[in-house]
Amino acid sequence: MTPIISEGYPFIGACFLLALLVGFSISPYAAVIPIVLMFYFCYFFRNPKREIALDEDVILSPADGTVTDIVPMETDEFVKEPCNKVVIFMSVFNVHVNRSPIRGKIKLQKYFCGRFRPAYKDTVGFENEHHVLGIENERIRISVKQIAGILARRIVSYVTLDDEMKQGELYGMIKFGSCLEVVMPKNVEIAVTKGQKVSGGLTVLGRIKD
């Protein structure tokens, strides 16, 4: 596991080359801005090592960020029963790699082109570009939706249909500010509250009640 994911290298390299170019051709002071941007891209595309405590009874947060809403739902395209949706907003300062909340197989994968409204708006899950995964195992099925925001113009996925994922395994990222929605059936007791800060692969979003 590398401390910076591969999607960040083109941004970091471009800023480094630009800093060299303007530093030698214009002034060393002119290189400050691209150098600052280079360090920001190193920070944004960071992939910190996480010790995942595997637990079949819990659903882990797929992302770092803030819980902005918890919404009861009558049903979901994949879950197909009464459920709850937890919405997590990621600012441009959060870690942006996404992790699987449970162990399971990807049984649904859909990508939707759309608009790029601010990720905190209520309707972005329907209007904005988004990518949906349906994950299931012997005990539960959940869906996870990556939603692009006003700055996020590309959703990255490392997985495909029928892939087996471990709990906490990296499956993708969204570039530059965005949000995720996790839909869980009603037999999952929600373990977070609105406004709570969460960490991908570490924070428990819910516990399965058998």
Q: Known catalytic residues?
A: 178
Structure tokens that stand for 11 in this block? 């941004």
Residue type, 124: V
Query: For the chain, percent helix, then strand, then coil, each to nearest 5?
Result: 20, 40, 45
Give the H/E segment covering residue 66: strand 65-73
Radius of gyration (Cα) for the chain, nearest Å? 18
- Strand 130-136 and strand 188-190: pairing? unpaired
How far is the C-alpha of 43 from the C-alpha of 2, rounded, in Å? Answer: 13
Structure tokens that stand for 140 in this block? 């539960």
* Residue that the structure tokens 């839909």 belong to: 183
Residues 6+ apart with CB under 8 A from 201: 50, 52, 60, 61, 99, 168
